[in-house]
Amino acid sequence: MAKPGNLTRSHHRLPKTSAPYNPKPNPPMTLRVVKRAVLCFAKTTSFPMASFVSSVTVTPRAKLRGVVFDMDGTLTVPVINFQAMYRAVLGDEEYVALRSTNPSGIDILHHIENWSPEKQQKAYQIIADFEKDGLDRLQIMPGAMELCGYLDANKIRRGLITRNVKDAVDLFHQRYEITFCPALSREFRPYKPDPAPLLHICSTWGVQPNEVIMIGDSLKDDVACGKRAGAFTILLDETGRYEKPEYAKVEHKPDFKVSSLKEVISLLESNFDLTP
């Protein structure tokens, strides 16, 4: 997968701290001073996200031709109480058991696929009720409008992948008058974290996955989907919950991590080729 240039895969640039042995005469004094300053900086500067995001130095900058967003918790303010929804679907005992074995989160949609049709129907109705309540309180995420306008101005495509229903996507489009195309909802199978929806969007656009970024607030769904497809990934972590120790050894780490969509524009300008 092509990578953006001259960067370590986090929002921070990490200095080079060592070089291979070279049996040549010492460089001029000015260059030695510069190298010594860089080494000093490396020893005294800490980068708290370096152990969480990918840490591979790459060149040159990758061409960015599209950005694919998650919806709930990324384009919209999170309003659905997922813990309450999972407890309502699973019951307290099964919820606690699943949570203990899946610290990064419960994949409720995949979990109920093996249930009987009658039990599935009840589960989907509970989920639909929680989602409807969320629609009534739908709010756009701060920075989303500005980021979408920036992408449009730079002729960078915008797509959407959500595990919510099509009605939720339609309401979002209507209420805020911004359209994502393609916009894939839960009706598209298989859904995240399977890479199929993201690969479908890349095929529709006629671009390669390594020319696309997936942005979302879920490691297990959004980041996993992006990494499996071969795309770049940005994790939106508003509250810092992914700094907890249990997330240190996750299989799929994001290429970048931000605490607000307002940070994404500068990240793109620093790390990607945005020319049309």
Domain boundaries, the chain: 62-77+140-273, 82-136
Average pLDDT over residues 131-154: 93
Q: Give the active site residue among 70, 221, 222, 237.
A: 70
72, 107, 217, 221: the catalytic one is: 72
Residue-wise pLDDT for 80-129, tens only, equals 888 898 899 999 988 888 888 876 677 888 888 889 999 989 998 998 88
Q: Which of 109, 94, 262 is nearest to 187 (CA)?
A: 109
Instruction: Just give the CATH number of 62-77+140-273.
Output: 3.40.50.1000
Choice between 151 and 58, residue whose per-residue pLDDT is larger = 151
Q: Is 107 a catalytic residue?
A: no
Is 273 designated active site?
no
Both tokens of residue 45? 């500067």
The helix-helix angle for 117-136 and 82-90 (nearest 10°) equals: 160
Q: What is the pLDDT of residues 163-172, one digit of tens each?
A: 999 999 999 9
Q: Starting at the earlier edge strand, list the strands of the sheet with 183-184.
A: 183-184, 157-161, 66-69, 212-216, 232-236, 256-258
15, pLDDT greater than 90: no
Looking at residues 23-27, what average pLDDT do you find? 42
- pTM of structure: 0.73
